[in-house]
Amino acid sequence: MRPYPGRNLTAEQRIFNYRFSRARRVIENAFGILVNRWRLLRTMVSVKVENIDVFVKAIICLHNFVKKEQSSSGSWRNEIKPLESVGRLSANRASQLLYNKRDKLKDYFVSPAGQVPSQNEEVQAGFRP
């Protein structure tokens, strides 16, 4: 999924981009920690699409177990090596289904149930991802 492109975006689209950027940052940080601990993730892993969620959950469980048992918190930082680019895995063209999902998330983010307190202020202040 991608943020809405361009400069002439509606307020709802800007809010989506703001929320998307925040979520992506958290995910990238978490995955960066996992990649640094589990070198297996630095290479192409052959996993069936239907098993990806089980694979990720297993890695997270192993990570949490090791973290709990490890006496020196944060020692994985001593092993940091630059990430290598995996390269393009498939076509870069999104389907209409993905555009529809993005629009549904956008609508949810501006609804009373999906709003977060500071999103409107952040977007009005000129948030830049």
pLDDT in tens, the chain (129 residues): 899 999 899 999 999 999 999 999 999 999 888 888 888 888 888 888 888 899 989 999 998 888 887 756 666 566 555 555 555 555 666 788 889 999 999 999 999 999 988 888 888 887 665
Q: Looking at the domain assignment, is residue 86 inside a domain?
A: no
User: At residue 107, what is the residue type?
Assistant: D
- Is 15 among the domain residues? yes
- Does 77 reside within a domain? no
Q: Which domain holds residue 110?
A: 11-44+93-124
Q: How far apart are CA 20 and CA 7, in angstroms?
A: 16
Those residues whose C-beta lies under 8 Å from the C-beta of residue 86, and which sit 6 or more positions away, are 44
pTM of the predicted structure, to 2 decimals: 0.65
Number of domains in the chain: 1
Q: Note whether residue 74 is domain-resident.
A: no
State residue 84's pLDDT score: 55
Asked if residue 116 belongs to a domain, the reply is: yes
In a domain, 16, yes or no: yes
Residue 3 domain-assigned? no
